[in-house]
């Protein structure tokens, strides 16, 4: 297969910094589009993968799965896009398309394994996929998304992961008017959960350990804030929430949050703590409560989310950085020193020699 070389930022070992490297992209096939990447969001998964903290990283590794750009070239069989269109790519670039999940538009749960945007087997080139910390990407049109023109493109990039990761469970569990919804943790995921749940018409309650985040939670759209380290507040709010979206990736007492649920309430985890979270049986049994997990969304649902954000003018709160500052950004993310997502201005890579 014909390929061409593009500039990228990647790492060659778990302990190595990211630096400029060259990678190969395929030439467009009949169903492919080539996207000139304008912005790429920085997700915590990027750090985990670059540093092989989720074992299985193949090097060199080029992270990035929150991609917004402009189409420069389309294959002869492409019907959904044309050169010049704004486009986006999220966490997947392919799936088997034949299993039950794929046929139901739930490609993220592909039973044969969806093809991740980076560090997944590339069925075209026989190597691993390379992500959005690069000049261009070539993707099958069926896994390319449209970006509403009214959104700030840089601030829209994190919608491709943080946005859909929070939107999908909110939609699946029918969050809307008349529902009281808790969002645990105000970070890259949590701040999107607040904005989306509010736009869906829910009464939004932020649950945080930090009193200093109260003002920001209300700016984002929260109706109330509960301090989870205040026993009196937690006791007072027991049995008041229909749904809780838990966005925390650190260790925490899940039982404390389950107590906040009403009968038949649902707590869904989208954060990914490294260690198991013990669940006490009587946190669930007396109130017929449920504890579940969720990950991103299928292509159709991701497009639905982007369109919803376009109608409600929802984007992520971001700090725009140059690609040359990515290693510093990783260290700041690990300290929680960002409100609330870093996004790379990919013009900074194109300016590299």
Provide the residue count of the chain.
353
- pLDDT per residue as tens digits for the range 10-35: 999 999 999 999 999 999 999 999 99
CB atoms within 10 A of CB 160: 29
According to the model, what pLDDT value does residue 353 have? Answer: 58
According to the model, what pLDDT value does residue 1 have? Answer: 81
Cα 108 to chain centroid, rounded: 12
According to the model, what pLDDT value does residue 54 have? Answer: 85
- Fold classified for 3-161+317-350: Quinone Oxidoreductase; Chain A, domain 1 (3.90.180)
According to the model, what pLDDT value does residue 55 have? Answer: 87
According to the model, what pLDDT value does residue 352 have? Answer: 66
CATH assignment of 163-293?
Answer: 3.40.50.720
According to the model, what pLDDT value does residue 351 have? Answer: 79
Q: Are 250 and 184 a contacting pair, CB within 8 Å?
A: no
- pTM greater than 0.75: yes
Distance CA 299, CA 232 (A): 43
Three-state DSSP string of 77-139 = CCCCCCCCCEEEECCEEECCCCCHHHHCCCHHHCCCCCEECCCCECCCCCCECCCCCECEEEE
Which segment of 192-196, 271-275, 308-312, 338-342 scores lowest on mean pLDDT? 271-275
- Confidence band of 84 (pLDDT split at 50, 70, 90): very high
According to the model, what pLDDT value does residue 274 have? Answer: 83
- pLDDT per residue as tens digits for the range 85-113: 999 999 999 999 999 999 999 999 999 99
According to the model, what pLDDT value does residue 183 have? Answer: 98
Q: Where in the chain is the domain with CATH 3.90.180.10?
A: 3-161+317-350
Q: What is the mean pLDDT of residues 221-226?
A: 97
Q: Where in the chain is the domain with CATH 3.40.50.720?
A: 163-293
Whether residue 350 has pLDDT greater than 90: no
- pLDDT per residue as tens digits for the range 237-291: 999 999 999 999 889 999 999 999 999 999 999 998 888 999 999 999 999 999 9
Three-state DSSP string of the chain = CCEEEEEEEEECCCCCCCEEEEEEEECCCCCEEEEEEEEEEECHHHHHHHCCCCCCCCCCECCCCCEEEEEEEECCCCCCCCCCCEEEECCEEECCCCCHHHHCCCHHHCCCCCEECCCCECCCCCCECCCCCECEEEEEHHHCECCCCCCCHHHHHHHHCHHHHHHHHHHHCCCCCCCEEEEECCCCCHHHHHHHHHHCCCEEEEEECCHHHHHHHHHHCCCEEEECCCHHHHHHCCCCEEEEEECCCCCCCHHHHHCCEEEEEEEEECCCCCCCCCCCHHHHCCCCCEEEECCCCCHHHHHHHHHHHHHHCCCCCEEEEEHHHHHHHHHHHHCCCCCCEEEEECHHHHCCC
* Burial class for 157, CB neighbours closer than 10 Å (0-12, 13-18, 19+): buried
According to the model, what pLDDT value does residue 110 have? Answer: 98
């Amino acid at each position: 297969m014909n390929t061409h070389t593009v500039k990228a930022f990647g790492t060659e070992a778990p302990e190595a910094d990211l630096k400029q490297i060259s990678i190969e992209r395929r030439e467009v096939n009949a169903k492919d589009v080539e996207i000139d990447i304008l912005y790429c969001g920085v997700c915590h998964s990027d750090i985990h993968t670059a540093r092989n903290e989720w074992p299985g990283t193949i090097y060199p590794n080029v992270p990035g799965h929150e991609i917004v750009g402009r189409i420069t070239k389309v294959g002869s069989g492409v019907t959904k896009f044309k050169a010049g269109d704004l486009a986006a790519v999220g966490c997947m670039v392919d799936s088997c398309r034949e299993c039950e999940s794929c046929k139901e538009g739930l490609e993220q749960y592909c039973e044969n394994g969806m093809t991740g945007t980076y560090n997944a087997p590339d069925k075209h080139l026989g190597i691993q996929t390379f992500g959005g910390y690069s000049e261009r990407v070539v993707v099958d049109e069926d896994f390319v998304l449209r970006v509403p023109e009214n959104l700030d493109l840089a601030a829209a990039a994190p919608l491709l992961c943080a946005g859909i990761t929070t939107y999908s469970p909110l939609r699946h569990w029918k969050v809307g008017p008349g529902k009281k919804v808790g969002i645990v943790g105000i970070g890259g995921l949590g701040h999107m959960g607040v904005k989306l749940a509010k736009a869906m018409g829910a009464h939004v309650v932020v649950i945080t350990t930090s009193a200093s985040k109260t003002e920001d939670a209300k700016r984002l759209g929260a109706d109330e804030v509960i301090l989870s380290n205040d026993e009196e507040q937690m006791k007072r709010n027991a049995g008041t929430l229909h749904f809780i979206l838990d966005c925390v990736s650190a260790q925490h007492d899940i039982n404390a949050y389950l107590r906040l649920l009403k009968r038949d309430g649902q707590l869904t985890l989208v954060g990914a703590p490294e260690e198991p979270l013990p669940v006490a049986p009587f946190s669930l049994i007396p109130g017929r409560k449920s504890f579940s997990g969720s990950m991103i969304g299928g292509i159709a649902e991701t497009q639905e989310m982007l369109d919803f954000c376009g109608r409600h003018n929802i984007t992520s709160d971001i700090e725009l950085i140059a690609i040359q500052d990515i290693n510093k950004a990783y260290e700041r993310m690990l300290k929680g020193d960002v409100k609330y997502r870093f996004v790379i201005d990919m013009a900074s890579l194109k300016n590299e020699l």
